[in-house]
Amino acid sequence: MVYIIAYLTAHKGKGDDVVVLAAPLIEATRREAGCITYDLYRKPGDPDALVFVETWKDKVAVDAHFEEPHLKAFQSAMADLLIEARIELVSPEKVEVL
């Protein structure tokens, strides 16, 4: 199994917009082959700080996810809403920043 932790920081007051735009992404991703869990959380006290916590069967499933149109559409929609995004891929061998 591999895990992805994606930290998103939205512009002030834009966290709600990110959550709304993420809903179709979450629904579609949960149906992907190899997706075990895919959840979005908000930092208590800071609604503009969000974290995706994902569990995948293997790296092949993650690579396929990164090619999905629903992920690419979400990334495009987020371009003007985010200050920062940091994605970490956690596997038994290492932690990679993507």
- Cα–Cα distances in Å, from 10 out to 6, 25, 40, 64, 80? 13, 17, 14, 26, 9
Number of H helices, E strands in the chain: 3, 5
Closest CA to 47 of 4, 81, 9, 77: 9
Predicted pLDDT of residue 31:
97
- pTM of full prediction above 0.85: yes
Q: Along the 98 residues of the chain, how does pLDDT read in single tens digits?
A: 999 999 999 999 999 999 999 999 999 999 999 999 999 999 999 999 999 999 999 999 999 999 999 999 999 999 999 999 999 999 988 888 88
- For residue 61, give its domain range: 2-97
Element (H, E) at 26: helix 15-29
Predicted pLDDT of residue 98:
85
Total tally of structural domains belonging to the chain:
1
d(CA 96, CA 88): 6
CATH of the domain at 77: 3.30.70.100
Predicted pLDDT of residue 74:
94
